[in-house]
């Protein structure tokens, strides 16, 4: 080893001398500036931090160049409160994204990670919401932290809630006054218009309305309630009250008050002591003003079971057998408002058991159910039934409910899922159960896949129940008797035996205060259900798929048609023949 190499002691002495020199230099600088050495230390640290920030800002600028995006340093950029409010603080922190400029024509946001898909979606949403041009910039961590500190200076404003709280006292007051539609009109004449929305909602709850319609006409503003599927004129209000009502509805539904020439959709929740009610709001411009429709969805409503809906007997037993199978498809069909979704929920209530995973895809989610994963489609983001169903199947469900099958892609995905061990529940639009098979084939579904995938088909309608408080016997005209006779003649012998054909009687509601003089109160379903028997499967594979052929094969296998089921329910004093033939003839 060379003797010229320094020893450890030599190195320690040299290091000590360097520290002494540095300390001496700091002391001399402090003396010259007439400040303490600790202050000099702080100045050194500050200078180093400034250098580091510049280096990081330079790295951010280089990143922006690689991404072909503009870079901005927000360290001293003036940012308005309006710009900050465009992105909630929690969302800004989560995405490391802020809005630094906003006016009527343009909105600009800065992001630390501008290639994040959620950041791009956020910019698109802000553009749509404000109807403004958007710009995306790359910012450094220092810029982001500076803007986040500005959130502390935002004035605390209590957010406008989308919820409408109705007290028990208000409900009791409305309930004690409103007994029918006429009493609602009288109440509006006596009360001020300041609480008109509360009156409308309270009256709709008392009368058990499913929808509230506000319609602007030339000489008047008409309020109509949909009771048991039928619209009824409920009241008229002055135009001055109408304008305040529309503004109030838009406010709670998070709609743009100043937009009157375009349709808008929103929703809000009505908080009630015995459970929440969701309201879907739709506005549409008309010649004399905006038309508004509010649909009431009772989240806490019990009774979603097949028996209370009117499904019983052999049809109920057949359906129970089909939904307890581990795989396949159960399809419900009927027009809009025929109760298809409610039937799907009632089925899920039966099969929702521990150890079973159920996922739904709906438009929108109408009722919340515990133990079920519910998802809502969003067409504006490309999340439709076809893509949503593919995502659902990656979640390894035992049962999947798809709100509607309306195209070939969704149909094929559902069929493949049914053939690979999943139970699929869904709806489709046809006139009757027999029309489901031709409808699938017209979409382009292959017969050899459809036949083994389909378990059962449910056709249904909703008919109004006779008011039990004013029920009376009804005399039928000859034409109606002929219709009844023809329907009974086509019934199976087993069903005929269960009916007392010689002494049958039919009933109607006379009209009373309990039913607002309508004669009906509540609704019940009429159904037709058939399973895919070997005979029907052969027909599908052999090309005999006309609606008539399928229906005859189903009747030969014991299916009771909707009209026949309605006649049976009319004989049981549940509904009238007029209702049955109105919805199912």
Residue 185 has pLDDT above 90, yes or no: no
Q: What percent of the chain has pLDDT over 70?
A: 85
Distance, CA of 230 to CA of 546 (rounded, Å): 33
Structure confidence at residue 201 (pLDDT) = 85
Overall average pLDDT of the 326-345 stretch: 92
Reported as a pLDDT band with limits 50, 70 and 90, residue 558 is confident
**Domains, the chain:** 61-153 (3.30.300.160), 163-298 (3.30.450.90), 306-584 (3.40.50.300)
> What pLDDT does 525 receive?
94
pLDDT digits (tens, 9 = 90+) for 531-540: 999 999 999 9
- If pLDDT is split at 50, 70 and 90, which confidence band does 160 have? very low
pLDDT for residue 330 is more than 60: yes
More confident: 189 or 17: 189
The whole-chain average pLDDT of the chain stands at: 84
User: Average pLDDT in the 420-433 region?
Assistant: 94
Q: What is the mean pLDDT of residues 371-393?
A: 87
Show the tokens assigned to 543.
Answer: 């090309």
**pLDDT category, 502, cuts 50, 70, 90?**
low
For the stretch 387-399, pLDDT in tens is: 889 989 999 999 9
Confidence category of residue 290, pLDDT binned at 50, 70, 90: very high
Q: Is the pTM of this model over 0.85?
A: no
For residue 103, pLDDT over 50 is answered with: yes
- Residue corresponding to tokens 């949909």: 226
Residue 380's Cβ-count burial label (10 Å; 0-12, 13-18, 19+) is exposed
Alpha-carbon distance of 472 to 466, in angstroms, equals 9
What lies within 8 Å, CB to CB, of 85 at 6+ separation is 154
| Greatest Cα-to-Cα distance within the chain, rounded to the nearest angstrom | 131
- H or E segment at 332? strand 328-333
DSSP code of 502?
G
pLDDT of 20 reads 54
> What pLDDT shows up at residue 112?
92
Q: Which residue has the higher pLDDT, 195 or 58?
A: 58
**What are the distances in angstroms from CA 579 to CA 469, 513, 569?**
18, 21, 11
pLDDT band at 501 (very low <50, low <70, confident <90, very high): low
Poorest-pLDDT segment among 40-44, 64-68, 181-185, 286-290: 40-44
Is the pLDDT at 10 greater than 50? The verdict is: yes
pLDDT at 154 over 60: yes
């Amino acid at each position: 080893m060379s003797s010229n190499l320094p020893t450890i002691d030599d190195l320690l002495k040299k290091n000590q001398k360097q520290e002494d020199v540095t300390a001496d230099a700091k002391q001399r600088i402090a003396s010259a500036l007439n400040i303490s050495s600790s202050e000099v230390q702080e100045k050194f640290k500050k200078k180093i931090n400034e250098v580091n920030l510049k280096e990081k800002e330079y790295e951010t600028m280089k990143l922006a160049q690689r991404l072909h995006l503009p870079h901005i340093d927000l360290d001293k950029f003036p940012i308005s409160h309006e710009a900050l409010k465009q992105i909630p603080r929690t969302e800004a922190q989560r995405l490391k994204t802020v809005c630094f400029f906003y006016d009527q024509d343009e909105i600009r946001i800065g992001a630390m990670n501008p290639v994040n898909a959620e950041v791009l979606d956020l910019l698109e949403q802000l553009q749509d919401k404000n109807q403004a041009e958007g710009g995306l910039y790359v910012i450094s961590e220092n810029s982001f932290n500076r803007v986040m500190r500005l959130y502390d200076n935002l004035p605390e404003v209590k957010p406008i809630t989308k919820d409408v709280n109705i007290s028990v006292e208000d409900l009791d007051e409305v309930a004690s006054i409103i007994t029918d539609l006429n009493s609602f009109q009288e109440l509006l004449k006596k009360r001020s218009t300041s609480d008109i929305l509360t009156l409308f909602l309270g009256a709709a709850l008392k009368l058990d309305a499913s929808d509230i319609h506000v319609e602007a006409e030339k000489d008047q503003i008409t309020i109509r309630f949909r009771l048991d599927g039928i619209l009824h004129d409920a009241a008229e209000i002055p135009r001055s009250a109408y304008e305040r009502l529309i503004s109030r509805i838009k406010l709670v539904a998070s709609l743009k008050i100043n937009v009157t020439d375009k349709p808008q959709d929103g929703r809000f929740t009505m908080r009630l002591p015995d459970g929440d009610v969701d309201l879907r709001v739709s506005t549409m411009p008309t010649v004399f003003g905006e038309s508004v429709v509010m649909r009431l969805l009772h989240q806490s409503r019990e009774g979603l079971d097949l028996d209370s809906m009117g499904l019983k007997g052999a049809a109920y037993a057949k359906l129970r057998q089909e939904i307890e199978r581990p795989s396949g498809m159960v399809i419900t069909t009927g027009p809009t408002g025929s109760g298809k979704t409610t039937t799907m929920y009632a089925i899920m209530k039966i099969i929702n058991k521990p150890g079973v995973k159920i996922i739904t895809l709906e438009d929108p989610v109408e009722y919340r159910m515990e133990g079920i994963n519910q998802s809502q489609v969003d067409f504006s983001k490309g999340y439709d039934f076809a893509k949503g169903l593919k995502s659902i199947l990656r979640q390894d469900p035992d049962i999947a409910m798809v709100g509607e099958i309306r195209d070939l892609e969704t149909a094929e995905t559902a069929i493949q899922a049914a053939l690979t061990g999943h139970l699929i529940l869904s709806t489709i639009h046809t006139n009757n159960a027999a029309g489901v098979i031709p409808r699938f084939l017209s979409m382009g579904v292959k017969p050899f896949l459809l036949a083994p995938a389909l378990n059962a088909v449910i056709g249904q309608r909703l008919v109004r129940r006779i008011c039990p408080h004013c029920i009376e016997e009804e005399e039928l005209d000859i034409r109606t008797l002929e219709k009844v006779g023809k329907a009974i003649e086509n019934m199976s012998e087993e069903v005929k035996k269960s009916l007392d054909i010689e002494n049958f009687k039919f009933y109607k509601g006379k009209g009373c205060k309990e039913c607002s003089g309508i004669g009906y109160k509540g609704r019940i379903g009429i159904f037709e259900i058939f399973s895919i028997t070997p005979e029907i499967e052969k027909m599908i594979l052999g090309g005999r798929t006309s609606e008539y052929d399928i229906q005859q094969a189903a009747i030969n296998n014991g299916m009771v048609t909707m009209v026949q089921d309605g006649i049976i329910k009319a004989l049981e004093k549940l509904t009238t023949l007029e209702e049955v033939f109105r919805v199912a003839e």
